[in-house]
């Protein structure tokens, strides 16, 4: 009798969690259809647009950088400034920025070189001089790999309602050739999008700071961006500080179009591994819940659970589970893309299977790594998200 009770105590929570995952699927599909790709609303003539100071931290040059940066010079927004923050005075991106400044002399833009060390986070250190010089009431932080549409900034500002302190774009990917481009679009259009949309629906902090706009006064209340220099995942803690002060965070209707010139499977998987390391350090409960959220993992557990509870055929349940998950992801990707994707259904099947089977492996690899690599620097993560940089040993 006792072993049977233990099995019921295990099977019922698994079945409930499995049902909860399907609720998340449903919410993501409906909320994504309602929330995303809405026509940008123009402010009335008598209502002035607030000024926006855009921080652009740059490190190095890739084949798409010039076009990405140029998209910020051509935005249809009446009042903004571009603050390019470059750590190294020998960085080739300085030449690209100056070329664009000559091409668009009417756009307010400045370059800040050298950064300022205020913590372990290199991105915060790089942006600090630009932040101090910002003159507008809104601050936007935008990574170098982001490409903007003409009306994207207006869309983000429109979502900054009176009770909203921060608006961010849901990460997505531009159309790019090759398997790596397909894999990246599948990840951001399914796994990431599902969690992002459900989190925004429930008001949960799932902020990824690659393209975000916020009220500068709220940052200044806690000491500015340098107050978050002790974290590598500064984006999460910035958003959490606003939620802790009863400000809402929201996604805009336009996804962030990532358009980095570097697109290969190894670098993308290294990026996902690094993100998993950060999530586990900030939220240790993810050690249990994140693997269980994977399609193949939860499908296996759920097949056993419903087989035990209802005497259903576990193989049939597992196959139906995978097929249903697959179809939901295809529909969600089409919603995020707002039309047809740039690859065929066979490519989606291959990319989707690769992502689903590699996801648990990358998470385990993240747990096995005690250090986190960020460009040329190495860090040690502590529980709670604090980080310390590991300096290379000098041979004597």
Active site residues: 235
Q: Which residues contact 191 (CB under 8 A, 6 or more apart)?
A: 355, 359
DSSP 8-state code for residue 228 = G
Question: Do 191 and 276 contact (CB within 8 A), yes or no?
Answer: no
Report which of 197, 206, 213 is spatially closest to residue 328, judged by C-alpha positions: 197
The answer for 236, left when phi > 0, alpha when psi is -120 to 50, beta otherwise, is alpha
**Helix/strand/coil for 255:** coil
State the Cα angle at 122 between 117 and 126, rounded to 5°.
65
The H-or-E segment that residue 55 falls in is: strand 52-58
For 260-297, give one letter per residue: b (16+ CB within 10 A) or e. bbebeeeebbeebbbbbbbbbbbeeebeeebbebbbbb
The answer for 72, left when phi > 0, alpha when psi is -120 to 50, beta otherwise, is alpha
Say how far apart CA 186 and CA 150 lie, in whole Å.
Answer: 25
- Rounded to 10 degrees, the C-alpha dihedral 277/195/295/325 comes to -160
**Helix/strand/coil for 109:** strand
Report which of 79, 188, 203, 85 is spatially closest to residue 144, judged by C-alpha positions: 85
| CA-to-CA separations, 64 to 33, 222, 258, 304, in angstroms, rounded | 30, 35, 10, 48
Q: Which residues contact 145 (CB under 8 A, 6 or more apart)?
A: 62, 64, 68, 210, 258, 259, 260
Question: Do 181 and 198 contact (CB within 8 A), yes or no?
Answer: no
**Helix/strand/coil for 360:** helix
């Amino acid at each position: 009798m006792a072993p049977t009770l233990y099995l019921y105590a295990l099977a019922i929570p698994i079945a409930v969690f499995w049902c909860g995952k399907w609720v998340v699927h449903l919410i993501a599909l409906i909320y994504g259809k309602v929330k995303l790709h809405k026509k940008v609303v123009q402010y009335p003539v008598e209502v002035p647009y607030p000024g926006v100071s855009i921080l652009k931290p740059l490190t190095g040059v890739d084949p798409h950088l010039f076009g990405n940066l140029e998209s910020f010079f051509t935005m249809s927004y009446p009042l903004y400034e571009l603050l390019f923050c470059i750590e190294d005075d020998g960085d080739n991106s300085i030449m690209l920025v100056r070329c664009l400044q000559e091409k668009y002399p009417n756009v307010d833009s400045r370059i800040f070189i050298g950064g300022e060390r205020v913590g372990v986070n290199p991105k915060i250190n790089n942006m600090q001089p630009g932040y101090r010089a910002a003159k507008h009431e809104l601050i936007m932080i935008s990574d170098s790999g982001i490409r903007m549409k003409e009306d994207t900034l207006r869309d983000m500002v429109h979502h900054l309602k009176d009770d909203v302190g921060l608006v961010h774009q849901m990460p997505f990917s531009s159309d790019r050739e090759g398997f790596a481009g397909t894999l990246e679009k599948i990840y951001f259009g399914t796994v990431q999008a599902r969690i992002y949309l459900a989190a925004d629906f429930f008001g949960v902090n799932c902020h990824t700071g690659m393209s975000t706009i916020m009220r500068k006064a709220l940052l200044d209340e806690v000491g500015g961006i340098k107050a978050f220099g002790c974290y590598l995942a500064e984006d999460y803690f910035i958003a959490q500080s606003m939620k802790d002060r009863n400000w809402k965070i929201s996604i805009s209707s336009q996804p962030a179009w990532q358009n980095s010139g570097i697109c290969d499977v190894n670098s993308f998987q290294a990026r996902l591994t690094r993100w998993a390391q950060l999530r586990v350090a900030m939220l240790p409960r993810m050690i249990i819940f994140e693997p269980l959220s994977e399609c193949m993992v939860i499908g296996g557990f759920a097949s056993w659970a419903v087989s035990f509870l209802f005497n259903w055929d576990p193989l049939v349940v597992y196959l139906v589970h995978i097929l249903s998950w697959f179809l939901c992801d295809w529909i969600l990707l089409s919603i995020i893309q707002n039309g047809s994707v740039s690859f065929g259904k066979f490519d989606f099947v291959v990319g989707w299977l690769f992502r689903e089977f590699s996801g648990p492996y990358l998470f385990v690899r993240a747990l096995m790594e005690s250090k986190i690599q960020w460009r040329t620097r190495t860090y040690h993560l502590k529980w709670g998200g604090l980080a310390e940089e590991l300096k290379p040993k000098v041979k004597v």
